[in-house]
Amino acid sequence: MNNAQSHCSCCQQDGMEPFAELDQAIDLYRDKEGNLIQILHIAQELYGHLSLELQEYIATALNKPLSEVSGVVTFYSFFSTTPRGEHTIRVCLGTACYVRGGKKIVDALQKTLGVDIGGTTEDGKFTFEVARCIGACGLAPAMMIDDVVYKQVNINKLDAILSQY
């Protein structure tokens, strides 16, 4: 690894230790069952993503192997190891959404945003993902932006939806 990249500069804040805010959460959850997922959620909320350096810090603080921490991070889709956009777009590709045009929405968004699935737009505005099901089958095809569900989406509605952000 390049030495210039060995430290996560995004986590440096006003001369504080890089992970000082996280230490409070670690202390709070240290002795609780299932603490790793709560701590990872807090870390991602604080720092935007779970860099390798951040995962190493958490593993050391909890006296867990890095492989356990990284395994949890890579298993759950809501954790990200790369910086994310200001807003997250998720297009449902569950069966109902797929057969009602979900793939067309994915293709149109890839073209409009200029990113592949899992990518973040150059301006940092959107991260684009697909979901296997968002639980809105009766509203298919559906997509979410952050926590807002959009129902019966078609490619003609995309520009109006995105313009809200």
pTM score of the predicted model: 0.66
Q: Tell me the pLDDT tens digit for each residue of 55-94.
A: 999 999 999 999 999 999 999 878 999 888 999 999 999 9
What Å distances lie between residue 65 and 61, 74, 89, 120, 122, CA to CA?
10, 15, 33, 30, 34
- In the prediction, which pLDDT does 115 show? 96
